[in-house]
Structure 1
């Protein structure tokens, strides 16, 4: 595993950024001397090109929309939503970087972007955590889960996010939206995606689309999107809020738990590994811990768990096919995008197997 600091950058030129225009835009929003502002491209992102900006001993992160890709939904890569969530969560128990400025004027650097503070820490790309002592790995997974539970308890109305999404009908909309994204991205139909698109709407758990289940969801909550303290098992920043919305907490939890089912490799799971030998808690232990922190019934969650997993695999399949579309268009931000995109069909097939009860879930 690569145990990374946030400084996973490529010290190339500014990749076409107009640093003078960027300085003029940023200067009113930071208390810093921006003379000699520098930019380094950060690797690791799938969709939103990202740079580390620095001047003297101060640093920030710039996230921009990618170039246009034919067929993608207008709401894709919604950096405006990321910026709004970061602002709303500032001062809350959910650790986030401070958002500085949102610039929707594409003439500045060629795309809409926002800037947030740089946070020092570690990004742990491999959820197996091979770079950490065996005895400490469970603590990191527990800390990630704690932060997820804290997020789901946020008073989203009090945070000013009443209009951040609809208050009911989440799964119906999710299935429809990612079905649209799938069809906008695909060259030829994917059989498992077609089957899931037909199966999922009729199997939404009773009451799951009601307003009473609504909370702020991250949408991409996995270990790789968390910044840990440089030395301790403490999350210091939750990153990549592109898919955040008002939704169902178990959708977030199930997406987080996909690591227990996906194979190691480009999707960074450990479903094909000896979990106990890795020092990682079982999926059931993870679910039980989340329920204890949020007051949910373990039995009720497990009863509908295959749906929540299948729904997230359908969504992930659509996301991967979107990455494949960006590869075809030449706008993919990640150098490993082609390899990642090739996982779309296996992911969809795993989702269909989940839906049909062919995969054992919530293993002890």
Structure 2
């Protein structure tokens, strides 16, 4: 008796899909306040539904124009935008503070939203503000972007070889105390190693790919992948095409990174962190201006079909073509991150 081949669409539909990095809040906050909830419903909710997204992490990223003086104000504004999105679309989404709330949202047929800080420029070295932001719903945070902050160096500063600053070490301990998951994406190489040396709880890389396949400072080395896994963490693969391959921008190159990560760290430590920026950048860039560039790469260099969340079923199809089993695909699509959220999201240290 032969077994019918797995239907990719059905497998994707019945899996919990957790997407750990979509900068959509930037586009939402660019609208007038009274349009925040409606814009999300009109522009982003259909894409999330089409992509089968069940849990969406919402990074709070502060553009350079707000740094340093306006960083905290814009951080608070974007957090408020997330709350208004959730309140104005309560039939479809729910802002969640811990794993139990995520599960309840899923049981109710709603998309669970989780707030994350990307580089936390509004905090500076006032580490006590992390608890303030936790009270407002933030549950994941990183300490740097490409450059230098009061807490750590981003990966663009790797030549400095810097570990966490004294305030950064305090920030890590404070995050573990209150139940905020530490995000190592964007952190400089020495800083990642420092976190993995000090951390007592699992960490996440919300949007990082594999250094062994694409030698770029935004990607993680095999040793870092192994150490993250050894501590129970999850690495969510970044879809930004230039971080995957120099010129072959295809879904197969993305699957190469997923497979390498699974081989090195174990399939139970792999997730999806697409870093969907193409539409957000297009949406928020003035017509007069050149297309935004990230680390020398145009932000319109994307994987065909994976420009936004609606294309996520293509990942399931590609993994099936590579011979992956249903259970392992479900782990990568979201099961692994969901486990991490259930165990540590919003759960203070005992």
Is TM (by shorter chain) over 0.5?
no
Who wins on radius of gyration, i.e. which is larger? 1
**TM-score (norm: length of structure 2):** 0.30
Structure with greater proportional helix content: 2
